[in-house]
Structure 1
Amino acid sequence: MDRLANTVRPYAWGSTTAIPDLLGTAPTGEPQAEMWMGAHPGAPSRIDRGTGAEPLSAVIDAAPEAELGEATVKKFGPHLPFLLKILAAGAPLSLQVHPNLVQARRGYEDEQRSGVPIDAPHRNYKDANHKPELVCALTPFDGLCGFRAPGESAELLAALEVDSLEPYVDLLRAHPEEAALREVLTAVLTADPEEMRVTVTEAATAAGRLGGAHAPYAAIAHHYPGDPGVIAAMLLNYVQLQPGEALFLGAGVPHAYLNGLGVEIMANSDNVLRCGLTPKHVDVPELLRIVRFEATDPGVLRPEAAPDGEELYDTPIDEFRLSRYVRPEGAAPLTLPASPAQILLCTAGEPGVGQLTLAPGRSVFVPAGENVTLSGAGTIYRATVVA
C-alpha cells in the first residue's frame, strides 16, 4: 500500500477554496479545480517505495499483473482503467458529451491518420477510450444532465418572451422528440454569433428577472455572457445533488457541472466534445454525430447497502466501481477482501488504513491482492474495477 502524492489542476472554473478547505491547506488565491488520483499520463500520482518518488504509471508499467491483477490486465490491458478525482467547481464547466468506445476508437484513428497533433486545440480524440463517469457530491452540487422533454424546454424558453427564441419554441412543440432536440441544438450552435450574442443577452436578462426555474441559467450567463451554450443549457435537466448523492453520465449524454465539491470517477480517458460554455474548440458536426437526442431522467443515484458496511454506487460500467465506507466512532476494524488494484480516498475524519492514518483529501494505492484493514472513524471512498 502506497501513499499517493497527487496533482491539482488549476482550471479557470475551479473553486479557490473548496480543495484547500478539504485538505486543510491555505488557499493560494488561484482556482484549484481537480485533484487527480491514478495513472493518467496527463498527471499521474506519485508514490515512493524507498527509492524516491516515481509516477504510479511507471510503477504499473514495470509490473502490470502484480500491480493491477491478472484479471484486470486480461480484461483492460496493462493500464489502470479508471481515474479518480476530487472536483471543485466554482463556475460552470463546459457543456459537453463523451463518445462511446466504438466512436472513440474510430475518431482517434481518423485523427491519427490525418496527422492532427495530439495537443492541437482542435483535436477531439486524445485517446481511443470512452469516458463514462460518475460524480458523487461531497457538498450540495448543481449540474445539468441529459435533455428535458422538448415540451418542458419549450415552456422554459417561451416564458422568457424573447422574440428570437420563438422559432426554437415552435420546433420543440411541433416536432417529434429526436428531431426537435436535434434541430434546435443545431440551430443554436450554427447561428450567427452576433445575433446569438444578442439573443443570449436578452434571455439572460429575462431569466434573472423571472428567477425560480430560470435562475440557474441567469447564473450560467453571468459566467459566459453571450455564449450559445446558455440557450443549449436550457434544453437540459437541472439537477441538485445533496451530499452522498451521485450522477452517472453515459456516452452521448450532454452535461455540465455548475457548482460544488464532489468525488468523480471515470474511465481513463480525456475525450471531450464541447457544446458551449467555453472558449475552446466546438466541432459542431462531430458533436451532433455523438449526442444522443433523447429526453432522459437524470437518474440520481444513492448508495446501496453491500456487505460489511460498504455502500455501493451501482453503474453499468466495468472500468470502475465506486463505493464508500462511513465509519462512526467506535466502529470495529474491518478487513477489506483482496481485490484488483484499488485507490482509497478519505473525505472526512482520520481513519486508519492499514498502518497509515489518512486525513481528508489524502489517498493510497493498494496493489492487487493486498488485504487492507480499516479502523477508526471517518469516510473512505473506494475505487476499483469490476474484473
Structure 2
Amino acid sequence: MELEGNVKNYEWGKLGESSEVARLVKANNENFNILNNTPYSELWMGDHGSGPSVVKSSGQVLGEVYKQRLPYLFKVLSVRKALSIQVHPNKEEATRLHKERPDLYKDPNHKPELAIALTPFMALCGFRPYSEIHRFCEEIPPLKELLGGDAVVNGLSNGSVDDLKKCYQTLMTANSATVSSIIDTILKDYDNVLLKYSLQDIFITINSDFPGDVGVLSLFFLNLLYLQPGESIYLGANEIHAYLSGDCIECMACSDNVIRAGLTPKFKDVKQLLASLNYTGSPASSKLFQPKELDENSKLFAPPIPDFAVVQISLSPSSPSASEYTLKLPQSPGILLVLSGSRTLRLKGHSDLVLKRGSIVFIPPENMNNIELLNLDKKNTDFNAYLATGNSFN
C-alpha cells in the first residue's frame, strides 16, 4: 500500500525547494505546497507515535492497518545547519531515562542508526585518534590551557582514556564566557592551524550559526567526515556525532531518544551525555560503513543489530535486469522509497502499482521474498530506490 510520510520542520532543515525532503513530498503529493522560507528537515516513514505515516488511499495511520510495530524508523534528512552534538542511549539507559524524564526521552528504546549520503554530506562522528587531539592541543595553546595544561593533555599522546574523559568533560562543562573567548582567539590568532587542517570554513560556519557554543571546539575532538553519495556511516549506542550539512537516507531503531550537549537551542543534558559516551578514539576512515552486494543491482547495508537493514536498488536501462528485476529478501516488513525513475511494482496478491519519484510503499512481510520491479513502459531511465526492512541478514 502507498504511504505518505510525516514531515518535520526543525529549524536546522533546508529551506523551501532546496530541501530534498520537500521535493520528495511534493513528488508524492502534488497538492503539497512548498513554502520558500520554511525548513523541511526530516521525512519520517514508519509507525512511530511522534510522526506516523498514513495510507494514501484511506488516511489511516500505518499502525492501524499493519498491527505489528515496525522495529525501525526510516527517514530522509535535509540538513542546512548543524544538528546537535549528541548520542543515543543504549536500551538499558533508554529505559531508565524514559522512566525518569518522559518529557525529554519519549520512549524506552535504543536508537542505533545508519546514514547513507544522497548528496555530499558532512558529519562529525566519534572521537579522533588521541594523537590527533593531542596535536591540536599543542598547536593551539589556549585550548590546551583550558583543558588542564600538560599534566592532562600529555596523557592523550599515550592513549589514555581517562585523560580524554577529563579533557572532554572539562571542555563540555567550561564557563561559556571562557569558551567564547577561546573561539575568538582561535579565529584571530590561530587561523593558520584551521587552514592547515582544512577546518577554517566549517569552524567559521558553525560559530556563525551557534556563536560561542562549546560544540564549535568539539571540531578538535571529533572526526570530520565528508561522505559522497552512496557512502554511509553506522552509529551505535553512545557514539557521539553531529550531522553538519547535506541530504541523507537514515534508518534507525524505532526511537526518538536523543541526549544533546551542544550546537542546539534545545535542552542540553551534558551530565548524561558525558556519562554515556563511548570514548574510543579511531580514524575517520574507520567510521565508514561498507555495504555488501546482493547482486549487480542491489547493495545491502546491514548493521550488527536486528532492528533494521537497508537495501539500495539501482536499475539502469543497460542492465540485464532492466525490464524485469526480482528481489528476494527475508520475510520482514519493508518500506520502499523511490528517489528517481519509474517501475511497476508487482507483489503476489496485490494489484500492480506504478512507482515514481517520491513513492513510498509498505511491503508486507509475506511479499518480501518476491519483489518484482518491471519496466512495462520500456522507459530509458535509471531507477533508484531504498528499501528499509528488519535485519535478518546477519
1:144 aligns with 2:124: yes
Which blocks of at least 5 consecutive residues in structure 1 are unaligned? 65-78
Alignment-derived partner of residue 153 in structure 2: 172
Cα offset, 1:142, TM superposition = 0.5
Matched, 1:6 2:5: yes
The offset of 1:132, in angstroms, is 0.2
Output the amino acid matched with 1:100: N
Residues 294, 351 of structure 1: alpha-carbon distance in 2 compared, 3 angstrom cutoff = same
Amino acid at match of 1:231: L
1:55 and 2:34 matched: no
> Which of 41, 50, 64 is the equivalent residue of 1:42?
50
User: Is this contact kept in 2: 1:150–1:173, CA < 8 A?
Assistant: no
Question: Does 2:108 correspond to 1:128?
Answer: yes
**Match in the other structure for 1:320:** 308
Higher mean displacement: 357-366 or 126-135: 357-366
Query: Are 1:363 and 2:369 matched, yes or no?
Result: no
Cross-structure match for 2:171: 188
Are 2:41 and 1:33 aligned? yes
SS at match of 2:217: helix
State how far apart, in whole Å, the 1-side matches of 2:117 and 2:294 are: 20
Partners of 1:227 and 1:276 within 8 A in 2: yes
TM-score, normalised to structure 1, is 0.86
Cα drift, residue 22 of structure 1: 4.6
Please say if residues 177 and 294 of structure 1, whose CA atoms lie closer than 8 Å, have aligned partners that are also in contact: no
1:277-320: CA deviation from partner (whole Å, max 9, x where unpaired): 11222222211221011102442124321147321113101100
Distance 1:206 1:158 in 2: 14
1:97 to partner: Cα distance? 0.6
Shift of residue 189, structure 1, vs aligned partner: 1.7
With over 3 angstroms needed to count, the CA separation of the structure-2 counterparts of 1:30 and 1:206, relative to structure 1, is: farther
CA distance in 1, matches of 2:189, 2:213: 16
Q: Does 1:385 align with 2:390?
A: yes
Task: Output the CA distance in 1 between the equivalents of 2:168 and 2:109.
Answer: 26
Of residues 260, 282, 285 in structure 1, which corresponds to 2:246? 260
CA distance in 1, matches of 2:185, 2:3: 48
TM-score by length of 2: 0.84
Deviations 1:170-229 (CA, angstroms, capped at 9, x unpaired) = 333325431122111111121122222222233345565642422222322121111011
SS at match of 2:305: coil
Distance in 2, matches of 1:102 and 1:233, equals 29
Distance in 2 (alpha carbons) for counterparts of 1:87 and 1:95: 16
The amino acid of 2:53's aligned partner reads S
Residue 76 (structure 2) pairs with residue 86 (structure 1): yes
Maintained 8 Å contact 1:149/1:177: no
Q: How many positions carry a matched residue from both structures?
A: 357
SS in 1 for 2:216: helix
Which residue does the alignment assign to 2:199? 214
Contact 2:336 2:387 (C-alpha < 8 Å) held by counterparts: yes
Out of 127-136 and 309-318, give the one that drifted further: 309-318
Gap regions ≥5 residues in structure 2: 28-33, 347-351, 376-381
Instruction: State the one-letter code of the partner of 2:278.
Output: R
Q: Please, which moves more after superposition, 89-98 or 190-199?
A: 190-199
Provide the alpha-carbon RMSD of the alignment. 2.1
Instruction: Give the residue type in structure 1 aligned to 2:371.
Output: V
Matched residue SS, 1:257: strand
Once the 2 structures are TM-superposed, how far is the Cα of residue 368 of structure 1 from its aligned partner? 1.5
Larger displacement relative to structure 2 (195-204 or 360-369): 195-204
* Contact 2:260-2:269 within 8 A present in 1 as well: yes
The residue matched to 1:44 in structure 2 has which SS? Answer: coil
Distance (whole Å) between structure 2 residues aligned to residue 208 and residue 340 of structure 1: 52
Question: What is the CA–CA distance in structure 2 between the aligned matches of 1:358 and 1:202, rounded to whole Å?
Answer: 54
Tell whether the 8 Å contact from 1:165 to 1:199 is kept in structure 2 after alignment: no
In structure 1, C-alpha distance between the alignment counterparts of 2:45 and 2:92, rounded to whole Å: 26
Measure, in 1, the Cα distance between the counterparts of 2:9 and 2:357. 20
What does 1:242-281 align with in structure 2 at a 5 Å threshold? Answer: 242-281=228-267
